[in-house]
Structures are given as C-alpha cells and as structure tokens.
Amino acid sequence: MKGLKIGLIAALSVIVIALCSLLAWGMGHRDAWRSFAADKEYAQMRLVLEKEVSLDGVDGIDIWYDMNSNDVYFYEAEGDTLLVKEYANYEAGEGEISTVGVNGSLLEIRGKRRSARTVHMFGFGYNSGYGYTEIWLPASYKNALTVKTASGDILLELDIALDADFSASSSSGDMTLKEVSAAGVALSASSGDINGAVLCAAEGAGRIKISTSSGDVQLREITGNTTIETTSGYISVDAVSGTFESSSSSGDITVGRADGDTRASATSGYIKIEGGSGKRDISTSSGDVLLEEAQELFEVRTTSGEVIIKADKGSGSISTSSGDVRLTLSELTGELDIHTTSGGVWLSLAADAALDFEANTTSGDIDTFFDDSLDFSKKGNRAKGTVGSAPLQKVDIETSSGDVRITKL
C-alpha cells in the first residue's frame, strides 16, 4: 500500500510538472502557438463567397467586418473590376456570408455575424468560426477606401494610390501596409500594431493620423503633416517630411530623420531624433532626450532624464528637474536658456562665439574657456560677462546642484 501511494504521488507530480511546463511554454510562446493555430485554420479553409463587381460609377468602397474574427487581405487585380473572395473554416450558412453590393455610388462589403465560439486561455486559443477575405483591387481605382475589422488583421499586399481618403481601423488586430498615397490617411488600432513602408498624403490640406491604444507603430517613410498617438506602445519612424506630432504615454519615440517642425512628448519613455531640419518641441516626464543634427529652434523639457543635443546651428531652451544637459552647438543663432534643478551642464561652443553670458549654480563650479572675460562671485558659483564683439547672443545657465562646463569645439 505504501509503495502504491508513493507511485501515485510520483505520477501526479510528473503530471503537474508537465502541465506547468506546457503552461509556461504557452505564456512565453503565444505568437508561435497562434501561428500554429492560424496555419491549422488556414489549412481547413473553404471558399464560401466569390463575387466580381464593376467599379464604374463607384466613388467609395466601405469594407466592414465589425462582428467577426476576420482578416482582410488586399491584392492587386489584373483587370478593372474588383473581386471579393471570402473563406471560412466551417460550413457557413447563407446568413453568415458577407454581403457585397453597390448602394448609390458606394460599394459596401459587410461581414455577417457567425455562429462561432472563441476560447483563449493562458496564451492558447481556439476559434470555431474563423474566416478571412481577399479583396482584389484594380490599380486604376482612385476613390475613397475604408476598411474596418473588429478582430482581425488588415494586410495590404499592393501599393495604393488614391485621389481621395484612405482609412483603416481594427479593434483587435495588426495592420501591415506597403505604399499608400492618398488625399488623407487615417489608421487606428485599439489592440494591435501598425506597420508600414511608405505613407504619403496630399500637400496642403492632406493629413496622416495614426493612433493605437495598446500597440506599436513602426513606419519606414512618411510624407505629409502627421500625427501619431499611442497609449502603450513605442513609435518608430525612419524618415518623415512635413510637420510631425507624436505622443506616447508609455513607450519610446524614435525618428531617424525629421524634415519639418516636430513636436514629441512621452510620459514614460525616451525621445530620439537623429537628424533633419525644422523646429523641435520635446517633452518627457521620465526619459532621456537625444537630438542630433538639429538646425533651428529647440525647446526641450524633461522632469527626470538626461538631455543630449548635437546641433549644427540653432538656439532655444532646455529645462530638466533631474538630469544632466549636454549640448554641442556649432553656431548659436539666438538666445540660449538652460535650467536644471539637479544636474550638470556641459556646453561646447565655437571658439569665435560672441556671447552675453551669465551662469549661476547654487552648489557647483563654473568653468569656461573664456574665464578671463567673466566676472566671478567670491564663491565662484556665479559668472557674468561678454565674449567677442557684437552682435552678441544671450546665454543664461542656471543649476541648483551641478557644475557648469563650457568647452571649445
């Protein structure tokens, strides 16, 4: 009897360990599991709808799958007609298949509610009523296009060039785009990432608006006045041309090159702009700021973070409550104000800079390459004077706890 109990305990222990290992694998490899599940579902797919539609007289296309788990894929059609192909992993009834029809000048593609069940637990999932739709769109189509999914990805396997607006949104799904050129572009995802190669809006009134609640935004190139917002996710853009505004509550913001006035804010995350031209208005609550190849006016504010700026030319203001300031400025073109509560200031200027200079530190030292032109207080924590000949650029530096170092480029 004792041996039987020991054997039973050992068997139960093995089962528990196996289940825990499977659970841990599922939690750490959810993407792999989902990929496996998706491959299995795709293998079971059957064509439930195929319909060809003429686009003569069509001014807009609305595609709505807001009642199902349904991916939407776009491909380029060979002719001038649009083709809709819908697939499902079960025998869909007539009332569960999408409707396709022209209402006035609007082509409407509407997904229907399916009698399906979806179960997700610990990273695993099973969907008993999954489907996807292929939209074969002619390259000649230039009018408005809107696509919306409730729980499904949106994938563009073609370049789109429209004279009207392009809009895409998903409540729970990722969005992947190639090249999109339109009068205006609007992309939104509640819980999903947005990835794209090239986005381009019409000059002037055209705008690009992108938002996610819990997802990252990663784009290669943007042309047009752009706004990107994310609540919990990072923003990464290789190059942007036009006015650019971005904000993230919990995530980093990285821009390779920004040619245009740029405003970026992050509550908890760093901000990095590697090059370009235009004004810079940057703020973070908890995160560092790095600006490279700055050309014009910059305004930087951070509560807790280091500020590093490497500018060919420019002027502006920098303030931080807790963090160092490191500024390299080849040509000062206007006033410069630097204020930090707890942190040092390292400033590198051209040897022939002409300055109206003042620096104050409560607890710290002041050291410049033009000390002979300054009047110092007895404690050496205040310095004031002029350097060079007119016109002079005003420089005001103040720190409560930190040194001030001015070096020559």
Question: Is residue 48, in this structure, part of any structural domain at all?
Answer: yes
CA separation for the pair 29, 71 (Å, rounded): 22
In a domain, 243, yes or no: no
**Least confident residue range of 99-103, 123-127, 140-144, 222-226:** 123-127
pTM of the entire structure? 0.84
Q: How confident is the model at residue 7 (pLDDT cuts 50, 70, 90)?
A: low
Taking Cα atoms as reference points, which of 35, 188, 49 lies closest to residue 131?
49
Nearest to 328 by CA among 283, 292, 275, 382: 292
Residue 30 has pLDDT above 80, yes or no: no
Q: Are 181 and 206 in contact (CB under 8 A)?
A: no
pLDDT in tens, 51-74: 999 999 999 999 999 877 899 999
Number of domains in the chain: 1
- Does residue 391 fall inside a structural domain? no
| 3-class secondary-structure state, position 73 | strand
Task: Give a yes or no: residue 65 inside a domain.
Answer: yes
- Band of residue 5 on the pLDDT scale cut at 50, 70, 90: low
Q: Is the pLDDT of residue 1 over 80?
A: no
* The pLDDT value given to residue 45: 85
Assess if residue 52 is contained within a domain: yes
pLDDT band at residue 81 under the 50/70/90 scheme: very high
Is 56 a member of any domain? yes
- The DSSP result for 292-333, as a single string, is EEE-SEEEEEEEES-EEEEEEEEEEEEEEEES-EEEEEEEEE
Position 31 scores a pLDDT of 47
pLDDT mean across residues, the chain: 88
- Tokens representing 54 are 């003429």
Give residue 409's pLDDT band: very low, low, confident or very high (50, 70, 90).
very high
> Is 42 a residue whose pLDDT tops 70?
no
Q: How far apart are CA 396 and CA 393, in angstroms?
A: 10
Ramachandran quadrant class, 95 (left: phi over 0; alpha: psi -120 to 50; beta: rest): alpha
Q: Which domain holds residue 53?
A: 31-152
Residue 147 in domain: yes
Distance CA 66, CA 147 (A): 10
Residue 400 maps to a domain: no
Q: What pLDDT score does 19 carry?
A: 57
Q: Which of 11-25, 168-182, 299-313, 315-329 has the lowest mean pLDDT?
A: 11-25
